Amino acid sequence: MYAKASPFDSIRDLIAKMPRASEESRLAARARQAQLTKPRGSLGRLEDIVAFLAAWQGKPEPTIDRPLVAVFAGNHGVTAKGVSAYPASVTRAMVENFAAGGAAINQICGAYGIGLKVFDLALDIPTRDITEEPAMEPAAAAATFAYGMEAIAGGVDLLCLGEMGIGNTTVAAAIYHGLYGGAPADWVGRGAGVDDSGFLRKIAAVEAAVTRHRAHLADPLELMRRLGGREIAAIAGAILAARIERVPVILDGFVVCAAAAILHALDPTALDHCLAGHVSAEGAHRDVLRRLGKEPLLDLGLRLGEGSGAALAVAIAQAALACHKGMATFAEANVADKIVE
């Protein structure tokens, strides 16, 4: 099918070789849960989270010693179509704000002891306007994907993905429309708060982009390089790198899930090592999560991005793990276990 060598071949090779979860570690975590001083299953999804972490880290006693939020920032040519309430210059300004510690994500990471790394992706050179041209050349898209794989360099045991890029809710909507069909308006929300006329321009841009590239959207990686942005490609790379190194991932909102959706379209098992941190208030996110087979941990009305919803979910995972590690067993506490007839 892909007779000619393509810059995406190595990505496809990695996907074909993705490791699976350790069922042994999952079962060991479940066995301990059954002995802890609580009614069976009473910690609900907290128990599922620990079993998930155990399975993917491949250890019955998983850790969250080095959680990280990786924020990828990119600029988008489609902003020329008036699709955002804010100018593209805000992307760089926010990257500087992240460095100075002034953004929402800095405070959430600080509150929970999560590391934060920001990767800016050639902000002075926006990707091309997707309504007119492919966003990126194939080789550049593959290189950006590979760069995203650096997110886990240096040791991370729980990876949260975030993004910053004025215009990127338009790009994400185009990706969803390209992948899932429907009407352009089904995928478009207000993003950072665009007004009514901007909202109509956004729908028109999503429609124009998918119409222009329609003949080339069957391959998800080709779709990514035509309709995507650099932060989308890099986030997809980071998710795949985490899979290869067996690092569990927490996805963020509408934009991060567009990168996840590319991998999911390539292989429906590619997100098995990912949790959905939250459901964003950006309208279509709930439908996207359903398509990805993910139940969000939080529903807080967030519509920010930056990895904020993913980072908030780390607190839940930390508490889940504290219960798993710190609780006494029935035997230790001399509490009578369930009576089995």
Ligand X SMILES: Cc1cc2ncn([C@H]3O[C@H](COP(=O)(O)O)[C@@H](O)[C@H]3O)c2cc1C
Interface contacts to ligand X, rule CB under 6 A = 84, 86, 90, 94, 163-170, 191-192, 194, 304-306
Query: By CB under 6 A, is residue 245 in contact with ligand NIO?
Result: no
The dihedral built from the CA positions of residue 200, 294, 225 and 302, taken in this order, carries a sign that is: positive
Which of ligand NIO, ligand X, none does residue 253 bind (CB under 5 to 8 Å by kind)?
A: ligand NIO
Alpha helices in the chain (DSSP H): 9-16, 23-35, 44-57, 89-100, 104-112, 138-148, 168-180, 196-213, 220-227, 230-244, 254-266, 285-292, 308-326, 330-333
Which of ligand X, ligand NIO, none does residue 303 bind (CB under 5 to 8 Å by kind)?
A: ligand NIO
321 neighbors 36 (Cβ within 8 angstroms): no
Restricted to residues 139-198, the positions that interact with ligand NIO (CB under 6 A) are 169, 191-192
Which of ligand NIO, ligand X, none does residue 165 bind (CB under 5 to 8 Å by kind)?
A: ligand X
112 neighbors 321 (Cβ within 8 angstroms): no
CB atoms within 10 A of CB 288: 27
Give the C-alpha separation, 82 to 318, whole Å. Answer: 41
Which of ligand NIO, ligand X, none does residue 280 bind (CB under 5 to 8 Å by kind)?
A: ligand NIO
Element (H, E) at 251: strand 249-251
Active-site hit among 222, 306, 332, 341: 306
The yes-or-no answer on residue 306 being catalytic is yes
115 neighbors 109 (Cβ within 8 angstroms): yes
Question: Between residues 60 and 305, which has the closer beta carbon with respect to ligand NIO?
Answer: 305
**Which of residues 280, 284, 297, 307 is near ligand NIO by CB under 6 A?**
280
Q: What amino acid occupies position 140?
A: A
Question: Between residues 238 and 320, which has the closer beta carbon with respect to ligand NIO?
Answer: 238
Question: Between residues 53 and 261, which has the closer beta carbon with respect to ligand NIO?
Answer: 261
- By beta carbon distance, the residue nearest ligand X is 191
Question: Between residues 19 and 87, which has the closer beta carbon with respect to ligand X?
Answer: 87
Instruction: List contacts with ligand NIO (CB under 6 A).
Output: 169, 191-192, 252-255, 280, 282, 285, 303, 305
Could you give the residue numbers annotated as active site? Answer: 306
